[in-house]
Amino acid sequence: MEARRVVVTASGFVLPQGSTRREVVEALGADRGPFVRSGPDPRVAVCPVPDFDLREHVGRCKNARYLTRGQQLCLAAAVRAVDEAGLGPAHLDRAGLFLGLGPNLQARPRDDKALWLLDCLPNTLAAAMAEILGLHGENLTVMTACAASTQALGQAYRTVAAGLADVALAGGGDSRLSPEGIQAYRQAGVLATDFLRPEEACRPFDRDRSGFAVGEGAAVFVLESLEHARARGAAVLAEITGASSSLDGGSLTGPDPSGRAAMRAVRQCLETLGGGELCVLAHGTGTVMNDQTEAAILAETVPGARAICAFKSRTGHLASACGAGELALGLICAQAGLFPAIANLENPIDPALPLLRTPMIFRPQSMLLQSFGFGGQNACLGVRFHE
Amino acid sequence: MNQLETITAILADILDLDPAGITPETYVIRDLRAESIDLLEIGVAMQHRLGIEVDDDTLFLRNMRTVLARAAKAGTAAIDALRGEYPHLDDARLGQMLADQPAGPVLKVRDLAAYAAARGGEREE
């Protein structure tokens, strides 16, 4: 059977910049992101989702007691995506569900909670979401560190392309703002610490970068086969043209400096995009090693790109949810025809790269999303727009 | 907070409900829709917050149908069988339960409070 074309027909998101397109567009108009100093550790910059209350998005939800904050953000995003898509029970019954999630760093044995085991199980969110939304199809919970939600989107794309589902929800949600999350990153030595103001902490692709700032948020998308979307008259936001993943097989934390496996994943997606003006949604963490390797990969693979964005400079690092969050922002910017500059980028490590130094009025024909996580875990997604 | 208030707070917390809607006469399963995993959490929370030993089978009247079936087979009076199984409930309440039983699970919030009272326990500060 020939692979079917797969389109994105809705996105739901809960991000530091907001949970509606209008809020996000307005917030991205600022010079920098809404960062503050972490409560548990004021040496660290964080970018929280303000005043998040799950009930405002999904109503009462007793199973929320087994969900992390990041998983609750993801649940809210999924409900918003389904609302936007206008999918009914018959569509949802056989719909797939592909989530990229992170570990619960606060889970521990508890005398006062009978089923604390559910705090530790990675599929608890999928189960709770399935109950609320009536999803009963193909599914997978992906836990591949910071590549997880990008990889989940890729698996959803493949599932719909292969005809195993007509509709699939895909994305992720995460938050590492807890004391445990901050401590874990600090001890790993990946956080920016030498900054005067928290909004200046994260400086992707700048010579003076020193690490990332911790963010939180979620984004979930509705993927459909093109025929299915057309048959029900759904609006098409974009087409997914390809997905790829690879493993460095080197360090457990830093990227392979040669970027060999990551580059292969990038090229696999690039080949599916066709021509036209390309916007790259870079991983761009602002860590010394990641950006150095990624800049070399970008120079090698996409020298002709029209623009390279690094949204982590504005949202902080959404951990396992970063790819989904950045795709949501990329789709919003593409629709608005305006992409923000990479915040805090003053002295680019590679002046030849088309890194966005100022806001750009621009409607790309295609986007390349790339996520490179701990474990040398690489994932990419190719997205194309049609008039 | 007395034991009933603590139990109400536990139910509201675990079932994500407004405590104002929970009274001693509220049915835990029929009205509040508590499922088996919720009952597990309620038992553990009562044990933890009230400082009592909890036997889930007794607290949630889990074996009521079996007890009644066994009594019927042995020719024992239903109320006598229930009295032996649920010593924290008085005859008046057990009588109500027998009459009410065909309509569904009979467990009420007051039965949880009666269990806690019979077990003594510490008052939560």
* pLDDT tens-digit readout, A210-228: 999 999 999 999 999 999 9
Select from A210, A238, A266 the last residue of a domain. A238
Is residue B124 domain-resident? no
Number of domains in chain A: 2
* Residue B81 pLDDT exceeds 80: yes
* Residue A48 pLDDT exceeds 60: yes
Nearest chain A alpha carbon to B35: A62
**How far is Cα A286 from Cα A210, in angstroms, rounded to an integer?**
7
Question: Is A33 in the same domain as A120?
Answer: yes
pLDDT at B122: 53
Instruction: Return mean pLDDT, chain B.
Output: 94
**ipTM score of complex:** 0.86
pLDDT, mean of residues B29-47: 96
For residue A253, what pLDDT band results from cuts at 50, 70 and 90?
confident
Select from A204, A220, A238 the last residue of a domain. A238
* Contact of B42 with B14, CB cutoff 8 Å: yes
Could you tell me how many CB contacts below 8 A there are between chain A and chain B? 27
Neighbouring C-beta atoms of residue B113, cutoff 10 Å: 20
Asked if the C-beta of A352 comes within 8 angstroms of chain B's C-beta atoms, the answer is: no
**Is B37's CB within 8 Å of A115's CB?**
yes
The CATH number of whichever domain residue B65 belongs to comes to 1.10.1200
Q: What percent of chain A has pLDDT over 70?
A: 99
* Residue B88 pLDDT exceeds 60: yes
pLDDT, mean of residues A121-140: 97
Q: Structural domain of residue B23, as residue ranges? A: 3-116
Asked if the C-beta of A62 comes within 8 angstroms of chain B's C-beta atoms, the answer is: yes
Q: Which of B14, B38, B48 sits opposite A111 (nearest CB)?
A: B48
The CATH number of whichever domain residue A78 belongs to comes to 3.40.47.10
pLDDT at A230: 97
* Residue A387 pLDDT exceeds 90: no
* Contact of A192 with A54, CB cutoff 8 Å: no
Is residue B122 domain-resident? no
pLDDT at A1: 64
Closest to B29 measured CA to CA, from B109, B94, B115: B109
Q: Structural domain of residue A98, as residue ranges? A: 6-238
pLDDT at A2: 78
pLDDT, mean of residues A29-45: 97
* Residue B125 pLDDT exceeds 50: no
pLDDT at A95: 98
* Contact of A182 with A41, CB cutoff 8 Å: yes
Q: What is the Rg, in whole angstroms, of the alpha carbon atoms belonging to chain A?
A: 19
Asked if the C-beta of B40 comes within 8 angstroms of chain A's C-beta atoms, the answer is: yes
**Is B16's CB within 8 Å of A112's CB?**
no
Question: Is A83 in the same domain as A220?
Answer: yes
Q: Which of B16, B17, B49 sits opposite A64 (nearest CB)?
A: B16
DSSP character at residue B2: -
Select from A199, A216, A238 the last residue of a domain. A238
φ/ψ of A90, rounded to 5, equals -70, -35
**How far is Cα A375 from Cα B27, in angstroms, rounded to an integer?**
51
Q: How far is B115 from chain A (nearest CA, A)?
A: 19
* Residue A373 pLDDT exceeds 50: yes
Q: How far is A72 from chain B (nearest CA, A)?
A: 15
**Residue A226: Cβ-neighbour burial (10 angstroms; 0-12, 13-18, 19+):** middle
* Residue A206 pLDDT exceeds 50: yes
